[in-house]
Amino acid sequence: IVTTRKEDVASTVQARSDQWHQPEKLENEECWSIIKERALRDSPISHELEPIGKEIAKQCQGVPLVANVIGGLMSKIELSPSAWWEIQRNSIWGSPESVLEVEKNSTPITNECSHIRHLNVGCDGESLPRMLTIVAPKLYSLFSEIDVFKKLSKSFTRLRVLKLVGAYYILELPYSLGELKHLRYLDISRTSIKALEALGFKDIHLSGSPNIAGLQPDNIGNLTCLQTLPVFYVGSERGRSIKELGSLNELRGEFEIRRLQRVRDKQEANGANLHLKEKLCKLIFDFKGSDSDNSEEVMESLQPHSNLQSLTVSSYQGNSFPSWMLRSVGDSGLFLLNNLVELNFYDCHNCESLPPLSQLQQLQFLELRNLKKVKGM
Q: Which of 135-144, 160-169, 203-212 has the highest mean pLDDT?
A: 135-144
Give the span between the Cα atoms of 80 and 197, in whole angstroms.
31
pLDDT of residue 310: 96
List, for residues 245-254, the tens digit of each pLDDT value.
999 998 988 9
Residue 311's pLDDT band (cuts 50, 70, 90): very high
3-class DSSP state of 53: helix
Chain Cα centroid distance, residue 280: 12
Cβ contact 373:349 at 8 Å: yes
For residue 12, give the DSSP letter.
Answer: H
Query: Over 90: is that where the pLDDT of 96 sits?
Result: no
Query: Over 70: is that where the pLDDT of 134 sits?
Result: yes
Q: What is the pTM of this model?
A: 0.59
Whole-angstrom distance between the N-terminal and C-terminal Cα of the chain?
Answer: 63
Which amino acid, one-letter code, is at 86?
A: E
Phi-psi region of 311 (alpha: psi -120 to 50; beta: other; left: phi over 0): beta
Where would I find the beta strands (DSSP E) of the chain? Answer: 2-3, 20-21, 99-102, 118-121, 141-144, 161-163, 185-187, 203-205, 231-233, 253-258, 280-286, 310-314, 342-346, 365-369
Query: Over 50: is that where the pLDDT of 102 sits?
Result: no
Residue 205 φ/ψ, nearest 5 degrees: -125, 125
3-class DSSP state of 328: strand
User: In terms of pLDDT, which residue wins out, 141 or 126?
Assistant: 141
Cβ contact 224:252 at 8 Å: no
Query: Over 90: is that where the pLDDT of 329 sits?
Result: no
Could you tell me what percent of the chain has a pLDDT over 70?
A: 71
Give the span between the Cα atoms of 280 and 240, in whole angstroms.
21
Residue 105's pLDDT band (cuts 50, 70, 90): very low
Residue 211's pLDDT band (cuts 50, 70, 90): low
> Mean per-residue pLDDT for 11-23?
57
CATH pick for 2-89 out of 2.60.34, 1.10.8, 1.10.10, 3.40.50: 1.10.8
pLDDT of residue 110: 46
Classify domain 218-377 at the CATH topology level. 3.80.10
- HSE-CB at 67 with a 13 A cutoff on CA atoms is 24
137: closest CA among 119, 125, 120, 124?
A: 119
Residue 104's pLDDT band (cuts 50, 70, 90): very low
Residue 106 burial (CB < 10 Å; 0-12/13-18/19+)?
A: middle
Contacts of 269 (CB under 8 A, 6+ apart): 242, 263, 297, 298, 299, 300, 301, 302
For residue 348, give the DSSP letter.
Answer: -
3-class DSSP state of 283: strand
3-class DSSP state of 220: helix
> Mean per-residue pLDDT for 81-91?
75
User: In terms of pLDDT, which residue wins out, 2 or 52?
Assistant: 52
Average pLDDT across the chain, whole number: 78
Residue 38's pLDDT band (cuts 50, 70, 90): confident
Q: What angle do CA 186, 188, 194 make, to 5 degrees?
A: 115
Q: What angle do CA 201, 207, 208 make, to 5 degrees?
A: 140
Give the span between the Cα atoms of 234 and 246, in whole angstroms.
13
80: closest CA among 53, 60, 59, 56?
A: 53
Give the span between the Cα atoms of 203 and 284, in whole angstroms.
18
> Mean per-residue pLDDT for 25-46?
86
Alpha carbon of 112 to those of 17, 31, 98, 130, 206: distances in Å?
20, 26, 11, 12, 34
List, for residues 252-304, the tens digit of each pLDDT value.
889 999 999 999 999 999 999 999 999 999 999 999 876 667 899 999 999 99
Cβ contact 321:295 at 8 Å: no
Residue 44's pLDDT band (cuts 50, 70, 90): confident
User: In terms of pLDDT, which residue wins out, 165 or 361?
Assistant: 361
